[in-house]
């Protein structure tokens, strides 16, 4: 059973200021510098995120969340999001991405302008979070299958290199892991829930996961579906829902689609916590 709370997130919205870090509770940006808390982009700005939660993150937590987001933004999602023009608009030097081409028995690395690169987003698909089956939390690595999202221009840009040659794709950064992705999804889900129902509106499950203090049971709360949905017009899709587990326990869950206008990108399910009676809508 799934009940959607309100409407799906608008692609662009600024909420009321929070006044405390939504991850650690700090009331100041840092001890060394007096300034207001940082604004939190629920979906990373590099993925087109324009849902903003003002005064919601301290300096330390900003650095933590930025580090794991960049693993995917500058890795597997990089070429697709750059070709789509997502992220900060600033003048840059020409950018090239290496394409590994095997031709006549020889392997060469061919630098290709990023605008002409046959871009794909290679990401992960997961099964539903274990908590929905009322399993006890167990320590295990977040794992699943692979999903590939491609832009309509993919075939045309690939044509100069294939089928005469073997082609391999290597992202500019290849250190991204399932844990980085899981923590990014947890951060999106937690911050969106705070935006919608307030910091006191639920008992949160994900703070330690976001901050990296305890990620041992990541798959207990973060998962998804292996059924790939059709692409939509919006670049992302976020919804806050109430779901019931097998044993009829009620949880708050956020469904997340990133690069959702790219065919082949999956849907993620993140159980963020339990409802409480002290929330603010």
d(CA 154, CA 5): 37
Per-position pLDDT tens, the chain of length 281:
555 665 566 678 999 999 999 999 999 999 887 789 999 999 999 999 999 999 999 999 999 999 999 999 999 999 999 999 998 766 676 788 888 777 777 888 888 888 888 888 999 999 999 999 999 998 888 989 999 999 999 888 888 776 666 777 666 667 899 999 999 999 999 999 999 999 999 999 999 999 999 999 999 999 999 999 999 999 999 999 999 999 999 999 999 999 999 999 999 999 999 998 644 43
Residue 108: its pLDDT value, please?
81
- Beta-strand relationship, 38-41 and 50-57: antiparallel
Distance of CA 262 to the CA centre of its chain: 14
Strand stretches in 120-189, DSSP E: 120-125, 145-150, 166-169
Q: Which of 264, 12, 5, 224 is nearest to 130 (CA)?
A: 224
At 122, give phi and psi (nearest 5°).
Answer: -95, 120
d(CA 187, CA 202): 15
At 219, give phi and psi (nearest 5°).
Answer: -70, -10
* Other Cβ atoms closer than 10 A to 263: 16
Q: Which of 226, 209, 206 is nearest to 271 (CA)?
A: 206
Residues whose CB is less than 8 angstroms from the CB of residue 115 and which lie 6 or more positions away in sequence, other chains included: 83
Residue at token pair 């992302």: 236
d(CA 58, CA 55): 8
Residue at token pair 């832009």: 151
Residue 3: its pLDDT value, please?
59
Collapse the DSSP code of 31 into the 3-class scheme (helix H, G, I; strand E, B; otherwise coil) and give the result. Answer: coil
pTM score above 0.85: yes
d(CA 104, CA 80): 29
121 and 146 Cβ atoms separated by less than 8 Å: no
Residue 278: its pLDDT value, please?
44
Residue 280: its pLDDT value, please?
42
- Beta-strand relationship, 166-169 and 96-103: antiparallel
Beta bridge partners of 93: none
Please state, in angstroms and as integers, the Cα–Cα distance from residue 174 to each residue in 98, 120, 123, 171, following that order: 13, 14, 12, 6
């Amino acid at each position: 059973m799934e009940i959607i709370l309100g409407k799906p997130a608008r692609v662009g919205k600024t909420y009321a200021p929070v006044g405390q870090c939504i991850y650690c509770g700090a009331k100041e940006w840092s001890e060394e510098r007096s300034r207001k808390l940082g604004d939190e982009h629920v979906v990373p700005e590099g993925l087109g995120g324009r849902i903003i939660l003002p005064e919601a993150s301290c300096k330390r937590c900003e650095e933590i969340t930025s580090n794991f987001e960049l693993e995917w933004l500058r890795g597997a999602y990089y070429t697709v999001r750059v070709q789509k023009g997502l992220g900060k608009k600033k003048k840059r030097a020409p950018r090239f991405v290496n394409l590994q081409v095997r031709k006549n028995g020889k392997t060469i690395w061919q630098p290709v302008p990023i605008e002409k690169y046959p871009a794909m987003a290679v990401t992960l698909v997961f099964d539903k979070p274990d908590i929905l089956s009322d399993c006890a939390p167990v320590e295990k690595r977040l794992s699943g299958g692979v999903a590939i999202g491609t832009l309509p221009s993919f075939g045309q840009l690939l044509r100069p290199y294939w089928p005469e040659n073997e082609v391999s794709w290597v992202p500019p950064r290849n250190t991204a892991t399932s844990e980085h992705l899981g923590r990014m999804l947890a951060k999106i889900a937690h911050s969106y829930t705070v935006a919608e129902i307030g910091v006191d509106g639920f008992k949160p499950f994900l703070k330690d996961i976001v901050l990296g203090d305890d990620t041992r049971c990541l798959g207990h709360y973060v998962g998804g579906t292996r059924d790939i949905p059709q692409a939509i017009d919006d670049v992302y899709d976020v919804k806050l829902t109430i779901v019931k587990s097998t044993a009829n326990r009620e949880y708050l869950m956020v469904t997340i689609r990133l690069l959702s206008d790219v065919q082949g990108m999956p849907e993620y399910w993140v159980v963020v916590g339990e409802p409480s009676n002290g929330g603010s809508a």
